[in-house]
Amino acid sequence: MARVAVVTGGTRGIGRAICEALKADGFTVAANYAGNDEKAKAFAEETGIPVFKFDVGDYEATLAGCEQIASEVGPIDVVVNNAGITRDGTLLKMSYEDWSDVLRINLGGCFNMAKATFAGMKERGWGRVVNIGSINGQAGQYGQVNYAAAKSGIHGFTKALAQEGARFGITVNAIAPGYIDTDMVAAVPENVLEKIVAKIPVGRLGHADEIARGVSFLASEQGAFVTGSTLSINGGQHMY
């Protein structure tokens, strides 16, 4: 029977590409999303992948959402923690809400999803957790103390959980994308984006499917000896 993979924030951007790659690899895939019903409906129709709406930053909602996926799709073997938001602003202009929402969703979402699925993976002796971090969690970024802290936290979370999962056939890894041409980057002002692209040795933004190929490897049988690691996919922008 095909293994079941859940991709948070799977209905658009990088998450969508990950869903499609994992489906092509033979996984049974379920996609989570937060509120954009229109995009989710179109995604489900176009890909045939079922969608589940819940806020990964809400602990109880995430437990209930994963329970629903397990009963409707099957026990969850692979979790891709991809859901993320930005609420940019310099520290002096950043509200407490913008700080805590970014931490709650980007980092808290990883904890909530792991709590909902790790015991089942342990029981079955196999699991894969892939957390989507960011170049800005590795290097920091002006105007993003919230996002950089959350993403940096994801890299620490990954290394700690990898140690807990290793004996049970569960690998836990992170991918740190550079700038990828999704809606999230479309929100960056054009003059800022031009300066960013100028700093990318490869000379362009990345594509969502270039992140998805990395997830595909980390979720595979062949990835069994890779754990606690962070794969940077950033066109050479930050060599860590």
Q: Is the Cα torsion angle 67, 38, 99, 164 positive or negative in sign?
A: positive
What residue has token string 């960056």? 188
What residue has token string 């991809």? 82
**Residue 11 binds ligand NDP (CB under 6 A):** yes
Q: Of 171 and 182, which CB lies nearer to ligand NDP in the complex structure?
A: 182
Q: Tell me the closest approach of the beta carbon of residue 15 to ligand NDP, in angstroms.
A: 5
Q: What track of x and - describes contact with ligand NDP for positions 69 through 98 (by CB under 6 A)?
A: -------------xxxx-------------
Q: Tell me the closest approach of the beta carbon of residue 225 to ligand NDP, in angstroms.
A: 25
Q: What is the largest CA-CA distance in the chain?
A: 53
**Residue 132 binds ligand NDP (CB under 6 A):** yes
Q: Distance from CA of residue 17 to its chain's centroid?
A: 11
Per rule CB under 6 A, count of chain residues that contact ligand NDP: 30
What residue has token string 């999803």? 113
**Residue 185 binds ligand NDP (CB under 6 A):** yes
Q: Of 15 and 127, which CB lies nearer to ligand NDP in the complex structure?
A: 15
Q: Tell me the closest approach of the beta carbon of residue 167 to ligand NDP, in angstroms.
A: 28
Catalytic option among 59, 142, 147, 240:
147
Q: Tell me which residue of 67, 74, 77 sits closest to 116, measured CA to CA.
A: 67
- CA-CA distance, 24 to 239, in Å (whole number)? 30
Out of 105, 107, 148, 162, point to the residue binding ligand NDP (CB under 6 A): 105
Which tokens go with 129?
A: 């957790």
**Residue 152 binds ligand NDP (CB under 6 A):** no
- Point out which residues pair with 29 in neighbouring strands: 5
Q: What track of x and - describes contact with ligand NDP for positions 51 through 70 (by CB under 6 A)?
A: ----xxx-------------
- CA-CA distance, 29 to 50, in Å (whole number)? 8
- CA-CA distance, 77 to 117, in Å (whole number)? 8
User: Active-site residue 240, yes or no?
Assistant: no
Q: Tell me which residue of 117, 37, 47, 39 sits closest to 75, measured CA to CA.
A: 117
Positions annotated as catalytic residues are 147
Q: Which residues bind ligand NDP (CB under 6 A)?
A: 8-9, 11-15, 32-36, 39, 55-57, 82-85, 105, 132, 134, 177, 179-180, 182-185
